Structure formats: C-alpha cells, structure tokens
A and B are shown apart, each in its own frame.
Chain A
Amino acid sequence: MMAALLEVRGLTRVFGGIRAVDSLSFDAHEGGITGLIGPNGAGKTTVFNLITGVYRPTAGTVCLAGGRLTGCRPDDVVRAGVARTFQNIRLFARRTCLENVTTPILARASYGPIAAVLRTPSARSAERAAREKAFAIMEELGIERFASFQASNLPYGMQRKLEIARALACSPKVLLLDEPAAGMNDAETHELGETIKRALEDFGVTILLIEHHINLVLDICTHVVVMERGALLAHGTPGDIRENPAVVEAYLGRRRRDRA
C-alpha cells in the first residue's frame, strides 16, 4: 500500500446554509492518480479551492505529508507543494508562453529587489536557470514551439497544456487538475491522458484529477473518489467504482440512460 501524501479529513464548507462540501475525507496516495468525480454541482471544484486555500473551510483539515495546509494562504500552499490548474483556463494572457511558465519559478527565486535592479550575476543566473527549466517543462509536454507566442493566441488545447506546464513549474508534490479535458474530443482526451501519465513519471508528482470524461478517469486513475452533493459517495479502484451499485445509480447509470 502506498503512503497517503495528501490527507483530507472531515472537510466541510457551508455557503449561506448550503453544505457545498460536507465532511469529506479521502487520501491521495503518493505516486498515484486519484480521480475526483461526481455530477455537476457535487462540490468538486470547491474541494480544490479548499485544498489550495482560495476558500477557508468551515471545518476539517487538509494535510500534505503530515503538514497542515488548512488556514494557509494560497501562495503558501503552493510553496508547500500543491499546484493546480483551473476549470476555466486562467493564463497570464498577455505574456508569452515561456513567461507564463517561468513566473512560478521566478516567484520562488531568492534574490531581492536590489539585486534585481543592479542585475547582479546571481540574479541573472537565477533568471537563466528559470528560463531553462521552464523550457524543459514545455519540451516535456510538447509545447516548446509556442514558447515565444502570447498565451492568449494559443489554440484551446494548447492553453490547457500550458496551464499544466505552469503548474508543474511550481515544483509540486501534488498536482490538482480541474477538468483538463473539458471541451476536448476523444483523440485529444486520449493524448491528454498520455501527457498526464508522462507528467506523473517524469516529474514524480501525485495527481488529483477532476474530470467528466469518465473513460479517461477509469483509464488512467489508480484510485477514484466519487462525490455527490458535497459528500463522499464511494471510493476505491476504478474496477470497484465501475461495479459499485450506488455509483452506477447516481452517476454512471444516469449518464448511460441519458445517452441511450
């Protein structure tokens, strides 16, 4: 059994009387891909916002490798080792793709304003190292040819990949992907799945994935957490989930009927 890297315990968030997330507990195991699925409005993105400190939980804790993340500001959460992408892509639109990816690396660089203004050798080398690292990440994801393009000019699928590259540039232990395949066709989705698996191997990150393409989830995830109305409905391996009657009823079953 792999160790739990990210532990979510009793996580609850109430918005004006509605329990958007209701005492949710689950683990994301080191080196695995954990899928977080559930119908629209089940509170999946809210879980991401709670983990990353964008929202403050009403109750419950999130720990990364034993250290508490709850109550930290988002930038501290990132420093602790959690990075994310957004459901509705949020790139630095008017900067180049390379600059998008260098930004998180530079944010962690240690030189101060005086070194920056004097352009000391250490500042220069830190900037060069950041560019090289960013370019390497982009190469890994196969988007290096767009390096000098303005981010907003990229095709949609490439923007998604660029966001993943930017998140990887935070050197995360855990990477949260919020519907990375949204709006993609089957071929693109399949390719994205390969990219995610590659990222897992090459960067050694643990992945938590929100996704509606159920086949992608069952295909690449090692573990699946199913949410319904803010609460945990089921969890287990993709095989378990496929067979779980409650899940089939609440989620998969209804979808199958919809399609028929």
Chain B
Amino acid sequence: MYYYYVLNIFLLACINMIAVLGVSIFTGFTGLFSLGHAAFVGIGAYTAGVLTYHWYVPFPLAILAGMLASGIAGLVIGIPTLRAKLRSDYFAIAILGFGEALRVCLENLSITNGARGLSLDELSGSAWVVGALLASLAFTRSLLRSRFGAMFMAIREDPVAAEMAGINLFRTRLLSLVVSAVLCGASGALLAHRIAFIQPVMFTMTQSTQLLASVIAGGMGSISGPAIVSFIFTALPEMLRKLEMYRLPAYGLLLVVIMIFRPQGLMGYREIPDLLRGTRDLLLARRVR
C-alpha cells in the first residue's frame, strides 16, 4: 500500500516534469513569459480523455492526439501574438484570455461532462510515464543542442541582435511555443489517465503559475534545474500535508524572492556537468585578465 502511494507520487512528479520541460523551453530558453501553459496541459488531457472515454481510442493514439491538439492551440494563439514587432506582453495577455475561454468551453460542453469532470481509466502505467519522461528529456536535450536551441537562446539574450544574426523572430518563437505546447499536451494526456479523473479547474492560472515557479526556481536556461525542482514541488506537499494551505502563497513568495535575490534560480543557465567545468573556467578567466 505504502509502495503504491510512493509510486503514485513519483509518477505524478514525472508527468509534471514533462510539462515543466515545455515551459522551460519557452520561458527559460526563449525568454518569453507565459501564464497559461496549464491550458495546453488541459487541452492535451481533455483531447486524450474524451477520445478514450467516448470512442475507446487506443491510449497511444489518444496521447498523440492530445499532443497534436495542444500544438494546434499553440499555433492559434501564437500566430497573431508572436509577430516580431509585438512586445511579448501581447502573448502573455492573449494566453490568459485563452485559458479563460477554454475553461468556459470545458465547463459547458456536454462532451467534456462540464464542470463535474470526466472519470477515465487509469491507463498511464509506470512504463508509459517513465518512458514518456525519458523520451521528452532526450527530445528537449537534442532540440536545445541543435541550431534551434542556439536560436531560442539568442532571442532570449537579445531579440534585436538575434534578428540581426539572421534569425526569423516570429517563426522561431512560434516553434518554441508549439514545441512547449506539445510537451504540455503529452503531460496532460498522461495526467488524465494517471489520476483517472479530469475537471476544468485542474487547468487554471494557479497550475500555470506552479509550472512557471518550477522553471524559475530551477533556473531559467537549464533543463536539469527545473526537472529537479518540479520533482521537489510535487513530492514536498505530500509530505507537508498540514501546511497545504500555505503552499500556494509560498510559491508566490518564492517567485518574488528569487527574482530579487537570485534570478538565475537553482541552476542558472547551467546543467549539472557544467557545475564541475564552471569552477575550472573561473580560474582560467582570472589568469587571462
């Protein structure tokens, strides 16, 4: 029984980590602010959930459909708001509106069973979840090491200079958004079939802020940092049940404190192997100067 409980938390943390990877690509590596990525998680969850619930679609196909639907939603919001001349605030505001519109739709459609939510089968077994997480990690790592990662980070560092390095701001930002939405969609599809129940309130701004908090606390521009932190954020509340009321205010405070005192977060633009190398570079830098 206890084993099952721990396993369940572990699997939830893994699923959460997939969505955090998505937000990390968008905010940590491309430098864009989003308060609505939970909506992409929701679209993935509901697309996959509705497909398995009403039409008994095979689980793997349902996951793919969830990812596809989230990606399309990303395009719909991204195309009008990520254009090169627009400030990133436009996207941030549009995705807030999108989250609200999505919640209203989910609560009022009969296919989603409204605000009461959908009860689903528990299809996301350990193999699926762990496999999906490993695949997502490999995917993110490869993407960020490629020319696309270089372009994302150039935009994060300086959009004007990035454009003058021949980068198409719009297309690159849009790619970053779609990739992050697809990862969130996968996370949602797995989540829906892990806790076997979905409701519109599971995908609001509060959840978006939690995703963002993991990325910020873990360190923007890092994959390992947010991954570690998202794991802690999922596991910790389970251990501190009594303080549950103060979990969300604590996340909020954490965001402010990190921005003021340590904007680079836990890992700050580094990965674990870099930490070892970093010490050496520091010594070298001193000598050259």
Contacts and interface: CB of A to CB of B under 8 A. Distances in A.
Contacts of B167: 75, 103, 107
Contacts of A145: 288
Contacts of A83: 164
Contacts of B238: none
A108 B147 CA distance: 9
A153 B284 CA distance: 12
A107 B153 contact: no
B244 interface: no
B225 to A, nearest CB: 14
A218 to B, nearest CB: 28
Interface of B: 84, 139, 142-143, 145-148, 150-151, 153-154, 157-158, 160-169, 175, 179, 221, 269, 281, 285, 288-289
A91 B142 CA distance: 24
A173 B163 CA distance: 17
Interface string A150-192: 0001010000000000110110000000000000000000000
Interface of A: 52, 54, 73-75, 78-79, 83-84, 86, 90-95, 99, 102-104, 106-109, 111, 113, 116-119, 123, 126-127, 130, 145-146, 148-149, 153, 155, 166-167, 169-170
A73 B168 contact: yes
B164 A78 contact: yes
B161 A86 contact: yes
B143 A170 contact: no
A107 B166 contact: yes
A113 B151 contact: no
A117 B139 contact: yes
Contacts of A102: 150
A146 B289 CA distance: 11
A117 B142 contact: yes
A170 B164 CA distance: 9
Contacts of A54: 160, 163-164
Contact of B150 (A91, A106, A123): A106
B158 A113 contact: no
Give the interface SS of chain B, mostly helix, strand, loop or mixed.
helix
Contacts of A109: 147
A73 B83 CA distance: 11
Contact of B163 (A75, A91, A92): A75
A91 to B, nearest CB: 7
Given A113-B179, A118-B142, 5 more contacts: A86-B161, A91-B157, A94-B153, A117-B142, A166-B165
A50 to B, nearest CB: 14
B169 A75 contact: yes
Given A75-B168, A153-B285, A91 B147 contact: no
A200 to B, nearest CB: 20
Q: Which 4 A-B pairs have the closest CB atoms?
A: A116-B146, A106-B147, A92-B157, A78-B166
Given A106-B151, A113-B143, A116-B148, A90 B285 contact: no
Contacts of A126: 147
Q: Which of A73, A75, A127, A170 has the most CB of B within 10 A?
A: A75
Contact of A84 (B143, B153, B154, B164): B164
A102 B146 CA distance: 11
Contacts of A148: 281
Contacts of A146: 288
Nearest to A74: B163
Contacts of B169: 75
25 contacts: A74-B164, A75-B163, A75-B169, A79-B166, A86-B160, A91-B161, A92-B153, A92-B161, A93-B157, A94-B269, A95-B154, A95-B157, A103-B162, A104-B165, A106-B147, A106-B150, A107-B147, A107-B166, A113-B143, A116-B142, A116-B147, A116-B148, A118-B142, A127-B146, A145-B288
